[in-house]
Structure formats: structure tokens, C-alpha cells
């Protein structure tokens, strides 16, 4: 039995989108042991993924930490991987290919290029198209790469939800990482007020802050979903999204989950990227794109909500 390594460190949205590719790799190498190298934030979540046989933690310490790199190299070499599928395609993973994993057959964006094609041109395509092209070049049978199934990660959270609502609810994701402030629509507080004015108590408004977002969440007039005063884990988050009546989100990890669960909702985009390029949006989970999110009025967002929530 050969061993196969998949590398995907994150982020959350990227890891969610890689689930279909991971499933296709496992189905292609049914008799092999497929392992995932990922970061600590996704270790517990991906440990329960049915498409892999195990998870290896990469602490992603600085590359000048030679002792760590030596230990990681020793660990990876024990598995004698025959193939590596680099779904991260970062400078770090290029470094790993050169210094830590020289022997296995390597699949990456660079191996997916057609003759004469530039990597910069390849990267202009959508995320899932690029992933599909990469796997096809590596002789992986494609079935799920663009049809991501997250059912395995959904849990029964009905008992936990009772402390927030006894029925249907609206779920908002008003946050984004500090390094991507251009993705953040600044009027969620006003939107919450408007939703409550229109729908009264029919649809409670819930928010599920991530790490370092609880303080910001407390400034919004919504019910904060936590687990022992800490952010909920990824399985709970996916289950919460799956239970929501309607969702409004910035272009963040939860928006990817909403899209792949085909939830009823809306993702807000500025000019930082396009919904098509990041593969967000479908018949139920729609997208609204403007040049500058600061100029997107609450009434326009509310009109989109009312078309699908009334």
C-alpha cells in the first residue's frame, strides 16, 4: 500500500473548497493511505473527514527554525509518500518540495500548466477550475472537485440552538480578518436594526464570531452564538449555517460554507475580487457586487433580503 500526501494549510474557506478535490484524490487512490498536512486550526475538524485516513500537523514555524524543519522532514520521510498533492501552492510548500519532500511525484499549480502557459495567467482562473486542472494533469478522476459535499460535517445542534431561538433565524457574518479589511461591509449594525424593525420577533438575528471577533460582536444588537464563552468549532459553525433561514456574509470562510451548502442568502463583494473567481454564489446563495463596499447602502442589501425571506 502506497501513501499519498495532500497539503492544505488553510484558510477556512480554502480548506472547505478543497474538500471535493480531497474526495477525488481518495477515490482515485482507494487502496492507498491518504494523509492531510494542515495547520492546527483545522486539525480537529479534518480528523473526522471521511475522505482522508489521517491528519499530520504542520505548526508552520518560521523556515529559519531548522530544528523544526528537520523534525518535520524526518516525520514525513517515515511515510515514504509516493505522491504529494500540493493544494496550498504557496511559497512554503514550494520550499517543502525542494528541501523536505524531494522523492515523491509532486502535483501543484506549476505541474498543471500547459506548454507555454504562464502561472500568472493560470491563477486568473477560478479556484475550483484551477484545482480541477491540476488534478486532471495528475491523472486524478474528477467527480467532486466542483461539487463539494459537506454533509459529513453536519451535526445535530438543535438542543444548543434552543438558548438562542425556538424557530427560524437570520444568521450574519459581519467580520473579516484584519489583513483583509477591504472585504468588510461597514453597515451590519444598521442592517440588524432594520431587520428587527421589519420582522419583529419572527426571525431572531444570530452572529457567530470567530477568534478575536467576540468583542466586536458584542457591539452589535444580535444574539452571539458561543460555546462555553468561546467561538464555536468548525463543525458547529457548518451545522449552524445549515440550520439558518437566511444568511448575509462578507467574502469570508463562512460564505464558502453557505455557498457549498446551497443556503438561502447573500454574499457581499467589493472590487477586491469577483464571486466567480472564488466560486461563491448559486441559485440560492446569491452575490451582490459593488465597486466600493462603503458605498453599498443598507436599503439595497435589505431589498435583496426581502425578495428571498418574505
pTM: 0.94
- The pLDDT, as a whole number, for residue 253 is 94
CATH superfamily of this structure's domain 3-149 = Glycogen Phosphorylase B; (3.40.50.2000)
- The pLDDT, as a whole number, for residue 196 is 95
- The pLDDT, as a whole number, for residue 10 is 87
- The pLDDT, as a whole number, for residue 101 is 94
pLDDT in tens, the chain (310 residues): 799 999 999 899 999 999 999 999 999 999 999 999 999 999 999 999 999 999 999 999 999 999 999 999 999 999 999 999 999 999 999 999 999 999 999 999 999 999 999 999 999 999 999 999 999 999 999 999 999 999 999 999 999 999 999 899 999 999 988 788 889 999 999 999 999 999 988 999 999 999 889 999 999 999 999 999 999 999 999 999 999 999 999 999 999 999 999 999 999 999 988 999 999 999 999 999 999 999 999 999 999 999 888 7
- The domain made up of 153-309 has a fold known as Rossmann fold (3.40.50)
The secondary structure of the chain as a DSSP string is --EEEEE----HHHHHHHHHHHHHHHHHTTTSEEEEEE-GGGHHHHHT-TT-SEEEE-----TT-HHHHHHHHHHHHHTTEEEEEESS--HHHHHHHHHT--SSEEE-TGGGPPTT--HHHHTTS-HHHHHHHHHHHTTPPPSSTTS---GGG----HHHHTTT-SS--EEEE----GGGGGG--TTHHHHHHHHHHHHTTSS-EEE---TT-HHHHTTSSSEEP-BTTB---HHHHHHHHHH-SEEEEESSHHHHHHHHTT-SEEEEE-TTS-TTTTT---SSEEEEE-S-GGG--HHHHHHHHHHHH-
Q: Counting every residue, how long is the chain?
A: 310
- The pLDDT, as a whole number, for residue 12 is 95
Tens digit of each residue's pLDDT (9 = 90 or more) over 183-198: 999 999 999 999 999 9
Tens digit of each residue's pLDDT (9 = 90 or more) over 196-252: 999 988 999 999 999 889 999 999 999 999 999 999 999 999 999 999 999 999 999
- Measured CA to CA in angstroms, residue 42 lies from 5, 59, 217, 223, 268 at distances of 16, 11, 23, 26, 25
- The pLDDT, as a whole number, for residue 275 is 92
Closest alpha carbon to 268 in 304, 239, 240: 304
Q: Where in the chain is the domain with CATH 3.40.50.2000?
A: 3-149, 153-309
- The pLDDT, as a whole number, for residue 126 is 95
Amino acid at each position: 500500500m502506497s501513501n499519498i500526501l495532500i497539503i492544505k494549510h488553510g484558510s477556512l474557506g480554502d480548506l472547505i473548497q478543497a474538500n471535493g478535490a480531497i474526495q477525488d484524490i481518495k477515490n482515485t487512490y482507494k487502496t492507498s493511505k491518504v494523509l492531510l498536512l494542515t495547520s492546527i486550526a483545522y486539525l480537529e475538524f479534518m480528523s473526522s473527514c471521511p475522505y482522508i485516513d489521517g491528519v499530520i500537523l504542520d505548526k508552520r514555524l518560521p523556515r529559519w527554525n531548522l530544528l523544526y524543519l528537520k523534525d518535520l522532514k524526518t516525520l514525513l520521510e517515515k511515510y515514504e509518500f509516493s505522491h504529494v498533492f500540493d493544494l496550498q501552492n504557496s511559497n512554503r510548500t514550494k520550499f517543502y518540495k525542494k528541501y523536505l519532500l524531494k522523492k515523491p511525484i509532486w502535483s501543484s499549480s506549476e505541474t498543471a500548466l500547459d506548454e507555454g502557459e504562464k502561472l500568472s495567467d493560470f491563477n486568473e482562473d477560478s479556484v475550483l477550475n484551477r484545482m480541477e486542472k491540476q488534478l486532471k494533469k495528475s491523472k486524478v478522476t474528477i467527480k467532486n472537485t466542483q461539487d463539494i459535499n459537506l454533509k459529513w460535517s453536519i451535526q445535530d445542534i438543535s438542543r444548543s440552538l434552543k438558548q438562542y431561538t425556538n424557530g427560524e433565524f437570520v444568521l450574519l457574518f459581519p467580520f473579516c480578518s484584519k489583513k483583509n479589511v477591504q472585504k468588510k461591509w461597514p453597515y451590519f449594525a444598521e442592517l440588524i436594526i432594520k431587520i428587527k424593525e421589519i420582522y419583529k420577533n419572527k426571525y431572531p438575528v444570530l452572529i457567530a464570531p470567530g477568534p478575536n471577533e467576540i468583542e466586536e460582536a458584542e457591539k452589535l444588537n444580535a444574539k452571539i452564538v458561543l460555546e462555553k464563552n468561546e467561538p464555536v468549532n468548525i463543525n458547529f459553525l457548518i451545522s449552524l449555517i445549515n440550520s439558518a433561514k437566511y444568511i448575509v456574509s462578507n467574502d469570508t470562510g463562512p460564505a464558502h460554507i453557505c455557498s457549498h451548502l446551497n443556503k438561502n442568502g447573500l454574499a457581499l463583494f467589493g472590487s477586491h475580487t469577483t464571486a466567480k473567481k472564488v466560486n461563491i454564489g448559486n441559485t440560492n446563495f446569491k452575490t451582490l457586487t459593488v465597486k466600493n463596499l462603503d458605498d453599498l447602502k443598507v436599503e439595497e442589501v435589505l431589498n435583496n433580503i426581502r425578495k428571498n425571506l418574505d
